[in-house]
């Protein structure tokens, strides 16, 4: 439509800004968008002039995008990870990923709300609440969770507040909200996208990646941003042979070998039923399915992952604060002290015991950390996903992304029953979730997990499945499942 002149970037941007105002802020009050970019219209005007003069920066020239609020932008918008302790902080420059967005010609529409500190603050948190942004709500039923921590990113794209968003993931923070909000989320190989300038949790697990309503849209955004960043050592090490130019083939599943991780579906018989229906579809499209009953290491990974995250969070946050001297707090301990001094506003519903546990760790030279990291890699890679891929020779593994969305609960926190994010997250491997079905009108996603740096193959399989099913349904912003 933009190519034939039916829409301009300015018109499209204005339509989305109006929809955010009427749907997100004054309609159902989704609280998905934490801040609007005051420069959005100006950016769109520039891109329209370029299009008129025959210049297109990428296939996404003039398309609006919203990014998660823990990602630095060198503009008028804040970067706080949802924390009141960082309220008012505006980064001095764009991070690498945002620079790539601008160079690709996307319109930076605003920033999305998130679970505060990417949901690494309390064991009883609501993973979609932040001190700065409040509670993000599920667009299907407003009293239910949108999961997190990339809650605003998933809700914004699900509710059509924008066509594309960017979230971040350490373990489940993209795929869980994508699955629960009925959209596509890609969690790429650690290092495919730069992480520099993003308020971190984990050096070994963090990624930043796209969310969209279709596989193709998400893949296009992944494609234009994937590039090595000299400031992110993991990004520099990405495979030189990585090629994510796509041949969109609806028959990509024909002849594909798929491993079904049945153990990850047994937490809910309704979820398992949806997976069985998905398997029937895969088989009908020519895929060969191998059922993998048990992955014994899955029960062991969590203990060591937790140690790694506590150590890496402290190191990462302290480094971020050091490289942003404009922030008045100089270390994690000072952030904790701010919350204690402003508990009525910063901690009205839950505390900060995870921050406090992280602050008790030493540094990344400690044997406890190094041993836990080595154990994570052994269990998730050598004895985990790499072993599964070697033993069964699948093109991808599949598992349910999520169970049905639970009620928002500030007393007990999240009621997460099951999912499949940990294996790929700890190993650093890619995964992609696609809408697969519903439990009482609540979306369930199907995850495809693959080899490191093999996003292209994984996305093609997910696209073929999506084209065969089209399970996504638009949300209707109903107050409650129990309201007639």
Summarize the confidence of residues 450-458 as an average pLDDT: 94
Distance CA 401, CA 294 (A): 17
Confidence of residue 238 (pLDDT cuts 50, 70, 90): low
What is this structure's pTM?
Answer: 0.97
Closest CA to 342 of 134, 87, 89, 84: 84
149: preceding bond cis by omega (within 30 degrees): yes
Distance CA 270, CA 257 (A): 25
Residue 241 has a pLDDT of 43
Residue 136 has a pLDDT of 98
Q: Where are the alpha helices (DSSP H) in 198-268?
A: 215-225, 233-236
Burial class of residue 160 (count of CB atoms within 10 Å of its CB; 0-12, 13-18, 19+): middle
pLDDT tens digits, one per residue of 102-143: 999 999 999 999 999 999 999 999 999 999 999 999 999 999
Summarize the confidence of residues 336-353 as an average pLDDT: 98
Residue 240 has pLDDT above 70, yes or no: no
Across the chain, mean pLDDT equals 96
Confidence of residue 246 (pLDDT cuts 50, 70, 90): confident
Residue 105 has a pLDDT of 98
Q: Which residues are catalytic?
A: 68, 149, 173
Closest CA to 31 of 116, 91, 88: 116
User: Do the Cβ atoms of 420 and 450 come closer than 8 Å?
Assistant: no
Domains of the chain: 9-469 (3.90.1300.10)
pLDDT tens digits, one per residue of 356-405: 999 999 999 999 999 999 999 999 999 999 999 999 999 999 999 999 99
Residue 276 has pLDDT above 70, yes or no: yes
pLDDT tens digits, one per residue of 23-54: 998 888 999 999 999 999 999 999 999 999 99
DSSP assignment letter at 356: H
Residue 237 has a pLDDT of 65
């Amino acid at each position: 439509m933009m190519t034939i002149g039916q829409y301009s970037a300015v018109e499209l941007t204005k339509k989305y800004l109006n929809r955010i105002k009427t749907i997100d802020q004054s309609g159902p009050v989704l609280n998905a968008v934490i801040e609007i970019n005051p420069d959005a219209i100006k950016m769109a005007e520039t891109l329209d002039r370029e299009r008129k003069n025959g210049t297109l920066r990428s296939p996404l020239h003039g398309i609006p995008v919203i990014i998660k609020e823990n990602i630095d932008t060198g503009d008028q918008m804040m970067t706080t990870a949802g924390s009141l302790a960082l309220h008012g902080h505006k980064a001095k420059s764009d991070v690498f990923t945002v620079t790539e967005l601008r160079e690709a010609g996307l319109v930076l529409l605003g920033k999305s709300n998130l679970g505060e500190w990417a949901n690494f603050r309390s064991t009883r948190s609501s993973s979609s609440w932040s001190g700065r942004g409040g509670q993000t709500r599920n667009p299907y039923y407003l009293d239910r969770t949108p999961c997190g921590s990339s809650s605003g990113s998933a809700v914004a794209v699900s509710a059509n507040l924008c066509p594309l968003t960017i979230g971040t993931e350490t373990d489940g923070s993209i795929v869980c909200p994508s699955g629960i909000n009925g959209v596509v989320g890609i969690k790429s190989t650690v290092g495919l996208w730069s992480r520099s300038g993003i308020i971190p949790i984990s050096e070994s697990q963090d990624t930043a990646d796209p969310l969209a309503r279709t596989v193709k849209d998400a893949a296009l955004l992944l494609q234009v941003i994937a590039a090595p960043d000299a400031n992110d050592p993991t990004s520099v090490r990405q495979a030189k042979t990585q090629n994510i130019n796509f041949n969109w083939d609806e028959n990509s599943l024909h002849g594909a070998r798929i491993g079904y991780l049945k153990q990850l579906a047994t937490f809910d018989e309704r979820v398992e039923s949806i997976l069985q229906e998905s398997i029937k579809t895969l088989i009908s499209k020519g895929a060969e399915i191998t059922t993998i009953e048990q992955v014994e290491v899955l029960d062991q990974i969590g203990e060591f992952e937790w140690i790694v995250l506590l150590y890496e969070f402290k190191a990462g946050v302290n480094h971020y604060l050091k490289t942003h001297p404009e922030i008045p707090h100089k270390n994690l301990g000072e952030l904790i002290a701010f919350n204690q001094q402003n508990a009525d506003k910063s901690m009205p519903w839950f505390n900060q015991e995870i921050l406090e546990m992280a602050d008790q760790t030493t540094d990344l030279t400690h044997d406890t950390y190094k041993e836990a990291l080595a154990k994570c890699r052994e269990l998730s890679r050598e004895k985990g996903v790499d072993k599964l891929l070697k033993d069964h020779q699948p093109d991808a593994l599949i598992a349910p992304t999520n169970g049905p969305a639970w009620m928002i609960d500030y007393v007990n926190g999240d009621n997460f029953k099951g999912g499949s994010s940990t294996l790929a997250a700890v190993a650093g491997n890619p995964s992609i979730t696609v809408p697969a079905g519903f439990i009482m009108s609540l979306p369930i996603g199907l995850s495809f997990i693959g080899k490191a740096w093999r996003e292209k193959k994984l996305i093609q399989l997910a696209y073929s499945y999506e084209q065969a099913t089209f399970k996504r349904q638009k949300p209707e912003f109903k107050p409650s499942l129990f309201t007639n």
